[in-house]
Amino acid sequence: MGLLESILGKDGRRLMKRKDSDAREQAIFKALSLLPASPPSKTTPFSSLFVLGAVMAMATELAIVSLLHHSVDFYQMAKIAVTPTIVLAEFMIFSKRVTLQKVITLAFVSIGVAVATVTDLQFNFFGACVALAWIAPSAVNKILWSNLQQTGNWTALAYVE
């Protein structure tokens, strides 16, 4: 009980010895309070949340349709293209600069992952068009979510709630 006592404090042993379920629930909730709390409730504009939700839905559906029309390997290749698209979009929209070292590293990692994941690449023109259409909303989704986290002081737990 040393770890539990360090988490619950001096009353931990007394709480755990009580027979009623409320004490155990209280001890569990106190232990879980080590997780970062959600940020104070701020009002996030409805339009921002609506756009984020619409983009997330579009990205998810396009990813599923893309998978229906060709192999997982092709999907992985399209998925690899999302990160460079994010970097390019943030540069174009927010004028966010990336060092040459990061660009070279991103290129090497992308090529390495592409070589490692491609074993049986099946190409379908419609599936390729859907995959290309999926890259943009997927990148926009990640950019919008990152922006909401930074401007609204959101955490990943707030996203789940």
- 72 and 134 in a single domain? The answer is yes
How many structural domains is the chain composed of?
2
Structural domain including 138 reads: 46-160
Whole-angstrom distance, CA of residue 6 vs CA of residue 37: 20
- 15 and 58 in a single domain? The answer is no
Nearby residues of 89 by Cβ (< 8 Å), 6 or more positions away: 139, 140, 143
pLDDT tens by residue, 2-40: 555 555 555 555 545 555 545 555 555 555 555 555 554
Whole-angstrom distance, CA of residue 20 vs CA of residue 85: 55
- 143 and 68 in a single domain? The answer is yes
- 69 and 134 in a single domain? The answer is yes
pTM of this prediction?
Answer: 0.62
pLDDT tens by residue, 84-93: 899 888 888 8
- 88 and 154 in a single domain? The answer is yes
- 10 and 61 in a single domain? The answer is no
Does 87 reside within a domain? yes
